[in-house]
Structure 1
Amino acid sequence: MARRLRPVGLEFVETAPLRLVFAREVSASPETVYRALADDMTAWPQWFTAVTLCQPIDCADGGKGRAVRLKGGTRFWETIVAAEASQRYAYRVDETNAPGLRALVEEWRLTPAGTGTRVQWTFAADGVAPFRLALKLGRPGMGRAFRDAVTALDRRLTAANA
């Protein structure tokens, strides 16, 4: 059963009660990584194994969003809150079937790093105490999932540009 979450803005990335931040460098350019994140979202399941569906949707307020499904059946309906080419891509979860979650924003920051890109993912959340505890305990697994996803994305982008 889907529930509406508290609507938060982009500032939530800095002010959330729980922030998990992961970073990794890839060989692809910021422009190429941004296109994979924002413009080719239907391909996310091909490089982020936790994602089984990612598709664009139109939001009720006229904005753009995403419908996302994860392995295990968790679903998110999101609003894109930042789409700054080659720099940042962020979205807020508006509705989900995930229990205990109150607010969530995910931000992908891209900065040049030598000839490639430093990819930083911030998972900014608020939820009931058991949810926050589960996220804290799950931090190593989320970090591993991020590293595996970004590594797979880099391989995919490198192969596409070869």
Structure 2
Amino acid sequence: MHQLIETQKIPANLETVWDFMSSPKNLQRITPDYMGFDIVKMPKEEKMYPGMIISYKVSPMLGIKMNWVTEITHVKELQYFVDEQRVGPYQLWHHEHHLKPIDGGVEMLDIVSYKAPFGFLGEIATSLFIKKQLKQIFDYRFTALEEIFGKF
């Protein structure tokens, strides 16, 4: 099991950041183009809820399209939500999104716990490129959120 922990301070109020981050339709705006990220199916409700299932197509490697299905398993309004992979490239994917108000804005904490498939081959892949790719995706997201909300 591996974990990626990222923190970002955003100069906006909690409600604004929550509304943006908890809306699946905004994921594409903060995901690098090379990931080929497309939402295939999601409920019509804009508001996230436990049990919400969202289906995507992603191209994490070599432009090969893969299905990725996540379930929103926990939601505490204006505080946190959790998405877990049900179908996709990982053996395990558990992503916690935490928000808390701070002076001048919001601190956002992401905790991603993940495990690549294929046993020791997955561990080699994690060491060689998966860990680096996840960091690049979150670095991209950091910059995208600064462009949307401004720098803290």
Q: State the distance in 1 between where 2:126 and 2:43 align.
A: 27
Whether contact under 8 Å (2:80, 2:99) holds in the other structure is yes
Distance 1:88 1:23, change over 3 A: same
Distance 1:134 1:95, change over 3 A: same
Q: Which amino acid aligns with 1:108?
A: H
Alignment-derived partner of residue 80 in structure 1: 72
Q: Which amino acid aligns with 1:105?
A: H
Partner of 1:129, secondary structure, is helix
2:110 alignment partner, one of 121, 129, 134: 121
What's the CA shift for 1:51?
A: 5.7
Q: State the distance in 1 between where 2:16 and 2:68 align.
A: 25
1:26 alignment partner, one of 6, 10, 25: 10
Unaligned runs of 5+ in 1: 1-16
> Residues 3-50 of structure 1, C-alpha deviation per residue, up to 9 Å, x if partnerless?
xxxxxxxxxxxxxx22111222121233222211223x1232122223
Q: State the distance in 2 between where 1:89 and 1:136 align.
A: 28
Match status 1:56 vs 2:42: yes
Q: Which amino acid aligns with 2:12?
A: A
Q: State the distance in 2 between where 1:30 and 1:130 align.
A: 41
Pairs aligned (count)? 135
Alignment-derived partner of residue 36 in structure 1: 20
Q: State the distance in 2 between where 1:43 and 1:83 align.
A: 17
Structure 1 length as normaliser, TM-score? 0.69
Q: State the distance in 1 between where 2:122 and 2:14 align.
A: 33
Structure 2 length as normaliser, TM-score? 0.73
Unaligned runs of 5+ in 2: 45-49
Query: How high is the sequence identity, in percent, across the aligned residues?
Result: 14
1:130 alignment partner, one of 102, 109, 121: 121
Partner of 2:42, secondary structure, is strand
Q: State the distance in 2 between where 1:51 and 1:120 align.
A: 25
Q: State the distance in 2 between where 1:109 and 1:132 align.
A: 28
Alignment-derived partner of residue 47 in structure 2: none
Alignment-derived partner of residue 4 in structure 1: none
Whether contact under 8 Å (1:32, 1:157) holds in the other structure is no
Partner of 1:132, secondary structure, is helix
Q: Which 4+ runs in 1 deviate beyond 6 A?
A: none
Across the aligned residues of Structure 1 and Structure 2, the Cα RMSD in angstroms comes to: 2.5
